A = this chain, B = another copy of it.
Amino acid sequence: MLEQMGKEARKASYQLAQCSTKEKNQALTIIADLLEQHSPKILAANELDMQAARSSGISEAILDRLLLTPARLKSIADDVRQVCFLTDPVGEVIDGKTLNSGLKLQRHRVPLGVIGVIYEARPNVTIDVASLCLKTGNAVILRGGKETVNTNAAMIEVIQEALQQAGLPAYAVQSINNPDRKYINELLKLDKYVDMLIPRGGAALHKLCREHATIPVITGGIGVCHTFVDESADFDKAFDIIVNAKTQRPSTCNTTETLLVHTKIAEQFLPKLSQVMADNKVVLHADPASFDILKSGVANVFPLQAGELDDEWLSLDLNVVIVDSLELAVEHIREHGSQHSDAILTRCLKNAERFVQLVDSAAVYVNASTRFTDGGQFGLGAEVAVSTQKLHARGPMGLEALTTYKWIGVGDDLIRA
């Protein structure tokens, strides 16, 4: 089954690569319109998924993620219309020159080809990823969470109908609707047809992909992010930033999970932190030195447990660790971080520069919240994923990350000397 999907996707990708931006935008507009027109069908399919999810005793949070409403579907369709306004990176001439040999050489930006995306039970991601891939002229094979099988099937049907109306190959967007996990493993080995794999999910999914995929994988999305409060930090500003970095949306990967505090200010800083964190309902997990100071405060505080420094909380929990120097803060981040986003709060130019230089993460901040690591915030217009590996794309991946380049050499009947 997957072999056939791969073949069809590859064939579709050749056609998509030849489409003009106008043609691709027309298809996106039709997709948006049909999503609204077929809203009853999609909502009915979603209701089937919701019933199955409710009876399997899934948490309220995940149920809410699964749920489509007329308003949510309208908003998803509007998001597709927004993609039309994004700049199409395909066709850009990246650089070029005439070489000594006389060869006129240019690099042109082209679609990657076929992209595989494995993700959780989020119906909006199905449409989001499909529209970004189409916009960049890529075919896509989707594999959403098993809880959204019916919703996804209905939405893909609508997309394929729209593609056909637009005169594009229906198989440009396909999804694996069979929840059997063996199809994930097959997808991971489909290197003959798939050029890039984007897993969107937890650490286990990324590990599975790294270990079994024969296709280049973009791993990321795991954020063990740090904020380091340097000895020169302005306390009040620091609290604003920490509250933002921890509480604005705790379930996201750019949330700060560990606060590193310079030992010289710990005695003054931590009692005040205790108050601020209590006001914001943040539970603290303190290393022995900070526990000594924090335990008499008003915040809910626990002694830090083994392993807590190496995982995402994704909740209103925050590790607190005292460090003796900027260098030790950096060492801590190197040891425990996931190379996602890390920040320093400081008034000292030299320390700011040193931190930025030494910390090897996708995004490094000075006096700003780690929450900024996001395609929208970075002005990329969209976000396909956040990469924490270093090849191809690092940090938030926008449309450009769905492209590659082709070298084009034109000669006047030229041979290599």
Contacts and interface: CB of A to CB of B under 8 A. Distances in A.
Interface of A: 14, 17-18, 97, 99-101, 103, 105, 110, 112-113, 191, 195-196, 210-211, 214, 216-217, 234, 237, 240-241, 243-245, 248, 334, 352, 356-358, 360-369, 371-373, 377-379, 389-392, 394-396, 404-416
B358 A14 contact: yes
Contacts of A364: 406-409
B234 A415 contact: no
A190 to B, nearest CB: 12
A371 B416 CA distance: 6
Contacts of A101: 372, 377
Given A211-B214, A216-B217, A372-B416, 8 more contacts: A14-B334, A195-B391, A196-B391, A363-B409, A365-B409, A368-B409, A372-B409, A396-B407
Contact of A377 (B217, B240, B378, B416): B416
Nearest to A237: B413
A279 to B, nearest CB: 16
A164 B157 CA distance: 63
Given A416-B248, A416-B369, A18 B357 contact: yes
A368 B103 contact: yes
Nearest to A97: B379
Given A358-B18, A379-B97, A390-B113, A366 B409 contact: yes
A377 B103 contact: yes
Contacts of A392: 216, 391-392
Q: Most B CB atoms within 10 A — which of A237, A363, A373, A391?
A: A391
A413 B367 contact: yes
Given A216-B391, A377-B101, A395-B407, A240 B112 contact: no
Given A360-B17, A378-B105, A406-B361, A414 B368 contact: yes
A378 B407 contact: yes
A48 B101 CA distance: 41
Contact of A368 (B245, B405, B410): B410
A417 to B, nearest CB: 9
A406 B17 CA distance: 30
Contacts of A415: 240-241, 243-245, 248, 368-369, 371
A203 to B, nearest CB: 13
A391 B391 contact: yes
Contacts of A413: 234, 237, 240-241, 367-368
B240 A99 contact: no
16 contacts: A99-B377, A105-B378, A196-B391, A216-B390, A234-B413, A364-B407, A364-B409, A365-B408, A366-B408, A367-B414, A368-B410, A368-B411, A369-B414, A372-B414, A372-B416, A395-B407
Given A18-B358, A415-B244, A407 B363 contact: yes
Nearest to A101: B377
Contacts of A369: 411, 414-416
A361 B409 CA distance: 12
Contacts of A412: 367
A132 B390 CA distance: 18
A70 to B, nearest CB: 28
A192 to B, nearest CB: 11
A409 B408 CA distance: 35
Contacts of A17: 357, 360
Nearest to A105: B378
Contacts of A391: 112, 195-196, 216, 391-392, 404
